Amino acid sequence: MPAVMIYVQHLLGIGHLMRARQIAQALANVGFEVHLVSGGMPIGGRLPRGVQTVQLPPIRVDDASFTPLR
C-alpha cells in the first residue's frame, strides 16, 4: 500500500486543517496509507476514517502579525 504524509500548520483558523483532512480522506479512500501531521491547536470532531493523525505541540500567534510565534 503506498503511503503519504501530509503536514499542516494552522495558526489563526482551521481552514488549512479542514482542507488537509479532506485531501487525506480522499487519498485513504483510494488505498493510500495516510498520516496527517498537525502543528496547530487540536480541534475536536470526527477524524477521517483510515487516516492516522499525529498532533505536534501547537504553535500559536495572537494576531495576523504572526509575531511572536509561541
Query: What does the pLDDT look like over 22-55, one tens digit per residue?
Result: 999 999 999 999 999 999 988 877 777 889 999 9
27: closest CA among 55, 10, 8, 48? 48
Beta strands in the chain (DSSP E): 3-8, 33-38, 51-55
Residue 29 pLDDT:
95
- The model's pTM: 0.81
pLDDT higher than 90, residue 4: yes
